[in-house]
C-alpha cells in the first residue's frame, strides 16, 4: 500500500462529517426525542406505529431515489456539486428540527424524511468518488479508513452530546430540550465543517458534456442496469451483498428492540452502541489494511463467519451480568464487541470490492444501484426475525434465523468466484 494522498484523507473525512447525522440523529436523539417530545401526546402504540412509518418512508424514499441520484451525478458536470446539494439539504433539516414545537410530530417526521434523503443522497455521490481519489492498491484501506473515521467521529460527538443532555444544568441550560436542540445544531455544524476538506482538496476530473435532462439520465440508468445484469461476477456479487448486508443491517436496526425484549436497560444499550463505534475503528483499519496487502475475498468470508458467531451468541446470551477479569459486565457488551469487530470491515470491503468491478467513468450510476440494494436490505431480515419469533414464541429463535442470510450470502459470494480485479497491491 502506498502512502495516502491528501485527496484520500480528505475523502475519508467526509465519513467523519456525516457520522454526525447517522449516529446523533438517525440512531440517537431523533427516536428518543420523537417519543418524549414531538409525539408525547400520542398513546404508546400509535407513537410506535407512526415512528415505524416515518423510518420506513425515509428508507424507501432513499432506496427509490438512489439510482436516479447516481445517474444524475454521472451525467452532469460535477459529482461534488450533487454531494453539496444533498448534504446541505441534510444539514438544513437537522437545524430545522430545532424549530419544531412539542407534539408537532407530523412536521418533525416530514423534516426527518427530507434530512434522511439528503444524507443518503450525499453518500451515494461520496461513495462514487472513491475510485477517483484512490488507486486500486490503496482502495480497500481507504474505504476502511472512511468507515473507521465515521465510527470515531460519530462516537466523539455522540458521547459529548449525551454528556450535554445528562448534565444540562451544569452547562447553564434550563431543560433537556434545550440541550437536545444544541446537539442538533452541533451535528449540523460538524457535518458542514468536515465536509469542507473534500470540497477543497478532492480534484474531480472535468467532464465535457453539459448537464443532461432527466430523460437522458433515465436512459443512462437503464443502460447501467442492463450492463450489471449481463456481468455474471458483478451480478452474483451484488446478490451476495444484498443477502449478507441484509443480515448486517438487521442486526443493527433490531438490536435495541431485541435488547428491550430480553430486559436489558437503556444505559446498557447506549453503552453497547458506543462500544460498537470504539471497537469498529481499529478492527476496520486492521482488516482493510490486511485486505489491501493480501486479498479482500478471504476477509469478506471472515466477516460473514464472524457475523454467524455474533448471531449465535445473540441467540444464546444470558440476560444476567457476566464476570470478565474480575469485573461484572452486561452480556450485551460482548455482543457489541463482536459487532464492532465485524461490521466496519465487511462494509468497507464490500464498497471497495464493488468499486474495482465497475467502469470508472460511471461510478455514481453504479453506486446508485449499489446503495439502493443497501437501502432495500434490512427488509427480509426483520420480517423473518419477527415471523420466526411469533411462531416459536421466542425472540431468540427469531435472531437465530438470521444465519440463513449470512450462509446464503456466503454461498452466493463463493459462486461469484474471484470477483475482484487484480491490483498491484493485492488481488481478490
From the candidate CATH numbers 3.40.640.10, 1.20.1250.20, 1.10.645.10, 1.10.357.10, the one assigned to the domain spanning 232-356+379-420? 1.20.1250.20
Assess contact for 292 and 1: CB atoms under 8 A: yes
Q: Are 133 and 141 in contact (CB under 8 A)?
A: no
Res. 426 pLDDT band, cuts 50 70 90: very low
- 372-394 tens-digit pLDDT: 777 666 667 777 877 888 788 88
Query: 327 — phi, psi (to 5°)?
Result: -105, 145
* pLDDT for the residue numbered 2: 61
pLDDT grade, residue 422 (50/70/90)?
very low
pLDDT at 216: 55
**What pairs with residue 426 in β-bridges?**
423
Q: Where in the chain is the domain with CATH 1.20.1250.20?
A: 1-201+216-231, 232-356+379-420
The runs of H, that is alpha helices, within 167-231 are: 176-193, 196-201, 214-230
Q: Which position has the higher pLDDT, 69 or 9? A: 9
Task: Taking each helix axis as running N to C, give the angle between helix 44-75 and helix 79-96, from 0 to 180 degrees, rounded to the nearest 10.
Answer: 160
Residues in CB range of 55: below 8 A, 6 or more apart? none
CA 33 vs CA 99, 100, 110, 159, 249: distances in Å: 13, 11, 15, 17, 23
Percentage of residues of the chain with pLDDT beyond 90: 27
DSSP 311-365: HHHHHH--SS-EEETTEEE-HHHHHHHHHHHHHHHHHHHHHHHHHTTS-GGGHHH
pLDDT score for 118: 93
- Residue 288 and residue 141 in contact, taking contact as beta carbons nearer than 8 Å: yes
User: Which one has a higher pLDDT value, 220 or 346?
Assistant: 346
Q: pLDDT tens digits for 34-93?
A: 878 898 888 866 776 787 778 778 878 887 888 777 777 766 557 888 899 999 999 999
Instruction: Tell me the pLDDT tens digit for each residue of 56-71.
Output: 788 788 878 887 777 7
Q: Pick the more confident residue, 96 or 266.
A: 96
Q: What per-residue confidence (pLDDT) applies to 183?
A: 93
- What mean pLDDT is predicted for residues 272-290? 88
Pick from 187, 188, 190, 66: which is nearest to 128 by CA? 66
Instruction: Report pLDDT for 213.
Output: 46
Domain 1-201+216-231 belongs in CATH node 1.20.1250.20: yes
Q: Which residue has the higher pLDDT, 241 or 370?
A: 241
Average pLDDT, the chain: 83
What pLDDT score was predicted for residue 424? Answer: 37
pLDDT 10s digits, 182-216: 999 999 999 999 999 999 998 877 655 555 445 55
Predicted confidence (pLDDT) per residue in 119-141, tens digit: 988 988 898 888 888 888 888 89
What's the grid cell of residue 255? 438490536
Amino acid at each position: 500500500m502506498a502512502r495516502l494522498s491528501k485527496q484520500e484523507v480528505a475523502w475519508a473525512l467526509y465519513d467523519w462529517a456525516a457520522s454526525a447525522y447517522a449516529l446523533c440523529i438517525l440512531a440517537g436523539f431523533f427516536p428518543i426525542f420523537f417519543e418524549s417530545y414531538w409525539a408525547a401526546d400520542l398513546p404508546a402504540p400509535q407513537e410506535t406505529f407512526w415512528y415505524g412509518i416515518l423510518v420506513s418512508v425515509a428508507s424507501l424514499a432513499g432506496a427509490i431515489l438512489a439510482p436516479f441520484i447516481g445517474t444524475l451525478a454521472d451525467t452532469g458536470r460535477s459529482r461534488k456539486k450533487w454531494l453539496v446539494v444533498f448534504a446541505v439539504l441534510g444539514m438544513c433539516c437537522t437545524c430545522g428540527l430545532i424549530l419544531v414545537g412539542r407534539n408537532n410530530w407530523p412536521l418533525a417526521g416530514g423534516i426527518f424524511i427530507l434530512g434522511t434523503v439528503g444524507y443518503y443522497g450525499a453518500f451515494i455521490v461520496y461513495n462514487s468518488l472513491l475510485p477517483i481519489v484512490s488507486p486500486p492498491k490503496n482502495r480497500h484501506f481507504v474505504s476502511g479508513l472512511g468507515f473507521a473515521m465515521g465510527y470515531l467521529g460519530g462516537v466523539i460527538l455522540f458521547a459529548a452530546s449525551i454528556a450535554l443532555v445528562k448534565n444540562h444544568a451544569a452547562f447553564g441550560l434550563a431543560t433537556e430540550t434545550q440541550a437536545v436542540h444544541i446537539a442538533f445544531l452541533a451535528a449540523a455544524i460538524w457535518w458542514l465543517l468536515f465536509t469542507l476538506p473534500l470540497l477543497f482538496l478532492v480534484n474531480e476530473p472535468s467532464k465535457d458534456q453539459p448537464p443532461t435532462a432527466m430523460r437522458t439520465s433515465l436512459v443512462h440508468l437503464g443502460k447501467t442496469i442492463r450492463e450489471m445484469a449481463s456481468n455474471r461476477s458483478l451480478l452474483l456479487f451484488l446478490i451476495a451483498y444484498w443477502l449478507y448486508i441484509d443480515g448486517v443491517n438487521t442486526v443493527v436496526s433490531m438490536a435495541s428492540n431485541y435488547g428491550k425484549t430480553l430486559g436489558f436497560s437503556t444505559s446498557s444499550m447506549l453503552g453497547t452502541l458506543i462500544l460498537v463505534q470504539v471497537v469498529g475503528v481499529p478492527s476496520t483499519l486492521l482488516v482493510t489494511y490486511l485486505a489491501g496487502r493480501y486479498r479482500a475475498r478471504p476477509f469478506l468470508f471472515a466477516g460473514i463467519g464472524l457475523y454467524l458467531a455474533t448471531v449465535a451468541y445473540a441467540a444464546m446470551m444470558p440476560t444476567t451480568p457476566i464476570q470478565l477479569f474480575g469485573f461484572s459486565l452486561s452480556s450485551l457488551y460482548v455482543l457489541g464487541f463482536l459487532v464492532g469487530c465485524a461490521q466496519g470491515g465487511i462494509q468497507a470491503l464490500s464498497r471497495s470490492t464493488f468499486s474495482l468491478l465497475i467502469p470508472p467513468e460511471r461510478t455514481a450510476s453504479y453506486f446508485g444501484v449499489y446503495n439502493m440494494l443497501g437501502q432495500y436490505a434490512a427488509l427480509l431480515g426483520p420480517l423473518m426475525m419477527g415471523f420466526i419469533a411469533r411462531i416459536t414464541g421466542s425472540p431468540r429463535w427469531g435472531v437465530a434465523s438470521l444465519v440463513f442470510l449470512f450462509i446464503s450470502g456466503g454461498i452466493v459470494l463463493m459462486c461469484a468466484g474471484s470477483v475482484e480485479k487484480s491490483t498491484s497491491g493485492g488481488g481478490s
